[in-house]
């Protein structure tokens, strides 16, 4: 029989898949001897069984009662006891942290009788009724689905009646009246009274937490962060300890290092006379954790000791939740803390320097997505700015946008292409869509551990919290600043997520210091003096030593190639020659298309060749001594011509006004002749080379002459010619024969000898399936995973991403767009098959990938695993690819990179 429930002392942090992250870490702290309230964890297996069947799995009820009896024995109290009741919390806890996305119910076990016993034991009637109020409110919204606004409005009415502004100013009689009002609302909404049986409360709360795994906001969060959809959540049942027992009690969140910068020290928030959800919800503004030293020195010193123990044990930044109950410290949760990308690099480099972790483990603590976020711009330091106010810098970065006051508006305006800033008093989990859509988040309440702060850091989103000088009126959609200025929806603000500053209007931005480092714009002294840049440099050095895959860049110009070199590229894996036919050069392509005789066609190609040769010479010179893979022209020629409809209208208009000319008529005829219903499957790639006489020869001759000229001038050009869209080995052989003849003639003509391997792109399923044959005519394969994804799935990328991908993601057809991260089960298997078959035929066959997946961290690990030689991505993604190829070499799975980092 399956065990569904585990006491804390039965688990360990190695059991996170079964007990969830929270439960595993509670077990770990218990076994370290830290002061953890007694409790137990209901496993993720129980959750999956519950969700599959829709009912509580057989055996769970009896296990619950058995473990509840043990908990009662350890605590010396009994659930529902009318004199000294045991109360428990019921909290979610999945394998991966999902802050605020699932449900919690506190004070389970209170009822109309035991509330008086709690008041007597605590000698605090107000505390008891406030605790009962919290249970009824949470239970109603979480378990029964009653609108939480009903309860918030009831509390607001009570405060207005009493003439007070804070919840803490309400007295025992106030909370007693509020509880009565809550219970009446529950009966009206559900037709049933609030349950008085503590075990019924417990079992119902557990079921509600299980169901919250599939709540829309939880699904959206998992989709946004690429988390598994079927894992389920564990449920942690723990004896309640109370931070709301007066000024000698409180609750807080601590970090062993600054989660924003990575600097060591004492960081966190504390709130006196409060329970944990008050801190996270941001309902009241917290004080810095160091204030606890003055309030309760003994508890503060003990907390610091436990923080040191946990950081030493976990060898990482730890995020800790704790409560002080009348001077007694209780540790309620720990985890490897979420951190900003900057903090992730600084912490990993610091732990490496202190020899707490080795180089390989340091690479596991950071990832490519974090690095890419560090490369985003910040505010121009020289720009004028008008300070409005200052809050808590909760998630670094720079963001400007038009202010909006609700999630729905943020989403709508973002869809219109507007940069928006979501402004709230405090955020809640339902604001997640707006937070994703917004460039930044600004709240007037809450600290660095509020919902807004934690979620924003997890998304790499700029966030300022606790700007309490701002009066945020969401009903009237205005903000009143400390100076009395009124800002309305649609006005522009800028926020600095590092300093917490809020500025009026839009502020220009500049490149990040990390980009300046990669560009080579920082001196050695500047690198050393900047902790972040120094950390990035150290870890990139480790990654470059470890990696096996080369990193090349997709570059079409000498300027692109030069930037890619500065960013660490080892060559060009894709130079798209069709990009060289844009702009003013379209006219030369028109000449080729309109040519009616062989002579006219040859003349048009002769016009194009010197332009192509100059382009190739610039590119090869920039990458001197490194490979440059030049793809022959790929897209249909009609893409270089005017739009059919626009041209037809213009010709008709000219005819009507007597201004028609023969050239426009001929051009229209050509556009109509070349028009295709499905051009991506039509006359493109190798088909152009085989059907249009002289086109392939012109391009190959231009490559050869560019290489010969550079060789003559003492350079070391290393061109490679790539034939696109091959589906048959016969196509490649025909193209290769013509190309080899042209290159032979160029060598004879110039007297220069140079190597120029000829290979092909594998971007059609047939090419992948016949790779063994194609390898007989190819010296290298480059996988074009963009087109291979389109042709494998039968997707037209430009259409499907807007038409139905969102629905497919909702339905779980795929967890992430196959154009963002490689579809390993389908497209990936074609790549694997082709790579293996190609090397079976030609053992020295070069293998690379040049689609957008070459810069995707998850995909890079796959390419490493199947033995490719290189990845080729955009110049800006080269550092990301360098880091991820190093991580792949040490066997680090991207799903576990920096488990608490964001």
316-344 residue pLDDT tens: 999 999 999 999 999 999 999 888 899 99
pLDDT at res. 896: 43
pLDDT at res. 892: 62
Residue 767 tokens, joined: 């090419």
Low-confidence ranges of the chain (pLDDT < 50): 894-902
Active-site residue (options: 306, 850, 858, 873):
850
CA separation for the pair 778, 765 (Å, rounded): 17
∠ Cα 809 811 814 (to 5°): 45
Owner of token pair 């130079």: 575
- Of 718, 721, 722, which Cα lies nearest the Cα of 760? 722
CA separation for the pair 899, 337 (Å, rounded): 8
pLDDT at res. 798: 63
Q: Which residues are bridge partners to 621 per DSSP?
A: none
Residue 805: strand, helix, or coil: helix
How many other β-carbons are positioned within 10 Å of the β-carbon of residue 700?
A: 27
Residue 504: strand, helix, or coil: strand
pLDDT at res. 898: 44
Residues 6+ apart with CB under 8 A from 794: none
465 an active-site residue? no
pLDDT at res. 901: 37
756 an active-site residue? no
Phi-psi region of 40 (alpha: psi -120 to 50; beta: other; left: phi over 0): beta
Measured on CA atoms in the order 499, 505, 506, 508, is the torsion positive or negative?
negative
Helices of type H across 473-548: 513-518, 524-529, 531-546
For the chain, give me the number of helices (H) and strands (E)?
37, 33
User: How many Cα atoms sit within 13 Å of 102 on the Cβ side?
Assistant: 28
Active-site residue (options: 67, 306, 439, 451):
451
Helices of type H across 104-215: 114-122, 125-142, 148-162, 172-190, 198-212
Owner of token pair 């720009």: 383
Residue 731 tokens, joined: 């196509």
Sequence-distant contacts of 815-820: CB under 8 A, at least 24 apart: 815/223, 815/226, 815/228, 815/229, 816/223, 816/226, 818/789, 818/793, 819/786, 819/789, 819/852, 820/852, 820/856
Residue 854 tokens, joined: 């070459």
- Of 83, 103, 107, which Cα lies nearest the Cα of 93? 103
Owner of token pair 């500053």: 501
pLDDT at res. 730: 97
pLDDT at res. 900: 40
């Amino acid at each position: 029989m399956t065990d569904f429930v585990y006491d804390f002392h039965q688990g360990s942090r190695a059991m996170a898949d079964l007990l969830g992250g929270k439960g595993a870490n509670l077990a770990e702290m218990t076994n370290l001897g830290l002061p953890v309230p007694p409790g137990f964890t209901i496993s993720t297996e129980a959750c999956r069984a519950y969700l599959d069947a829709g009912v509580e799995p057989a055996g769970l009820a009896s296990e619950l009662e058995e473990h509840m009896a043990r908990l009662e024995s350890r605590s010396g109290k009994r659930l529902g006891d009318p004199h000294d009741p045991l109360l428990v919390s019921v909290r979610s806890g999945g394998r991966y942290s999902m802050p605020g996305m699932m449900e919690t119910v506190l004070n389970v076990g209170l009822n109309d009788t035991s509330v008086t016993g709690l008041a007597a034991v605590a000698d605090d009637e107000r505390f008891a009724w406030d605790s009962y109020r919290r249970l009824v409110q949470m239970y109603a919204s979480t378990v029964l689905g009653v609108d939480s606004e009903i309860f918030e409005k009831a509390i607001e009415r009570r405060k207005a009646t009493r003439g007070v502004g804070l919840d803490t100013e309400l007295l025992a009689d106030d909370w007693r009246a509020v509880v009565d009002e809550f219970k009446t609302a529950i009966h009206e909404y559900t037709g049933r009274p609030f349950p008085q049986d503590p075990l019924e409360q417990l079992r119902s709360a557990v079921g509600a937490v299980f169901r919250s795994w599939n709540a829309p906001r939880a699904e959206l969060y998992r989709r946004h962060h690429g988390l598994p959809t079927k894992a389920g959540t564990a449920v942690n049942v723990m004896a309640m300890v109370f931070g709301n027992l007066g000024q000698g009690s409180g609750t807080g969140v601590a970090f062993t290092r600054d989660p924003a910068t990575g600097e060591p020290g004492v960081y966190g928030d504390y709130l006196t006379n409060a329970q944990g959800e008050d801190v996270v919800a941001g309902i009241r503004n917290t004080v810095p954790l160091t204030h606890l030293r003055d309030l309760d020195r003994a508890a503060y010193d003990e907390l610091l000791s436990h923080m040191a123990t946990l950081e030493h044990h976990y060898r990482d930044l730890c995020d800790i939740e704790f409560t002080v109950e009348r001077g007694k410290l209780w540790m309620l949760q720990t985890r490897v803390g979420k951190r900003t990308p900057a903090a992730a690099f600084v912490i990993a480099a610091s732990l490496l320097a202190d020899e707490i972790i080795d180089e390989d483990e340091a690479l596991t603590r950071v990832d490519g997505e974090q690095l890419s976020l560090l490369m985003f711009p910040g505010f121009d330091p020289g720009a004028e700015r008008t300070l409005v106010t200052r809050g808590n810098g909760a998630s670094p970065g720079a963001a400007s946008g038009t202010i909006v006051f609700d999630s729905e508006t943020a989403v709508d305006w973002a869809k219109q292409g507007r940069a928006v800033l979501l402004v709230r008093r405090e955020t809640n989990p339902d604001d997640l869509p707006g937070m994703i859509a917004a460039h930044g988040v600004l709240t007037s309440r809450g600290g660095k551990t509020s919902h807004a702060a934690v979620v924003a850091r997890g998304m790499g989103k700029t966030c300022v919290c606790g700007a309490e000088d701002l009066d945020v009126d969401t009903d009237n959609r205005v903000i009143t600043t400390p100076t009395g200025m009124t800002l309305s929806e649609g006005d522009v603000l800028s926020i600095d997520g590092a300093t917490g500053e809020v500025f009026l209007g839009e502020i220009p931005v500049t490149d990040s210091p990390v980009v300046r480092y990669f560009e080579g714009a920082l001196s050695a002294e500047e690198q050393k003096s900047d902790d972040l840049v120094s950390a990035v440099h150290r870890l990139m050095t480790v990654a470059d030593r470890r990696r096996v895959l080369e990193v090349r860049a997709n570059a079409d110009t000498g300027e692109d190639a030069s930037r890619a070199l500065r960013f660490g590229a080892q060559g060009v894996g894709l130079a798209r020659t069709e990009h060289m036919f844009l702009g003013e050069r379209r006219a030369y392509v028109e000449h080729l298309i309109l040519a009616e005789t062989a002579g006219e066609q040859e003349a048009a190609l002769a016009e194009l060749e010197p332009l192509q040769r100059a382009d190739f010479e610039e590119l090869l010179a920039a990458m001197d001594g490194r490979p440059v893979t030049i793809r022959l022209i790929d897209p249909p020629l009609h893409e270089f011509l005017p739009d059919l409809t626009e041209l037809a209208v213009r010709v008709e208009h000219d005819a009507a006004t007597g201004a028609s000319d023969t050239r426009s008529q001929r051009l229209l005829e050509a556009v109509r002749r070349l028009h295709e219903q499905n051009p991506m499957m039509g006359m493109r790639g190798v088909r152009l080379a085989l059907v249009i006489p002289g086109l392939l020869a012109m391009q190959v001759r231009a490559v050869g002459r560019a290489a010969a000229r550079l060789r003559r001038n003492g350079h070391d050009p290393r061109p490679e010619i790539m034939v696109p869209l091959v589906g048959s080995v016969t196509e490649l052989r025909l193209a290769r024969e013509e190309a080899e003849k042209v290159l032979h003639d160029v060598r004879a003509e110039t007297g220069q000898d140079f190597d120029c391997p000829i290979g092909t792109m594998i971007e059609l399923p047939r090419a992948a399936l016949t790779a063994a044959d194609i390898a007989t005519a190819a010296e290298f394969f480059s996988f074009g995973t963009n087109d291979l994804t389109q042709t494998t799935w039968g997707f037209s990328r430009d259409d499907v991403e807007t038409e139905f991908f969102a629905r497919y993601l909702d339905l779980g057809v795929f967890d992430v767009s196959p154009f963002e991260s490689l579809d390993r089960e389908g497209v990936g298997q074609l790549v694997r098959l082709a790579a293996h078959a190609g090397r079976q035929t030609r053992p020295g066959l070069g293998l690379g990938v040049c689609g957008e997946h070459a810069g995707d961290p998850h995909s890079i690990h796959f390419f490493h695993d199947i033995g490719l030689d290189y990845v080729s991505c955009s110049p800006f993604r080269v550092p990301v690819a360098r880091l991820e190829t190093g991580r792949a070499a040490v066997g680090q799975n991207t799903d576990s990179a920096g488990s608490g980092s964001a």
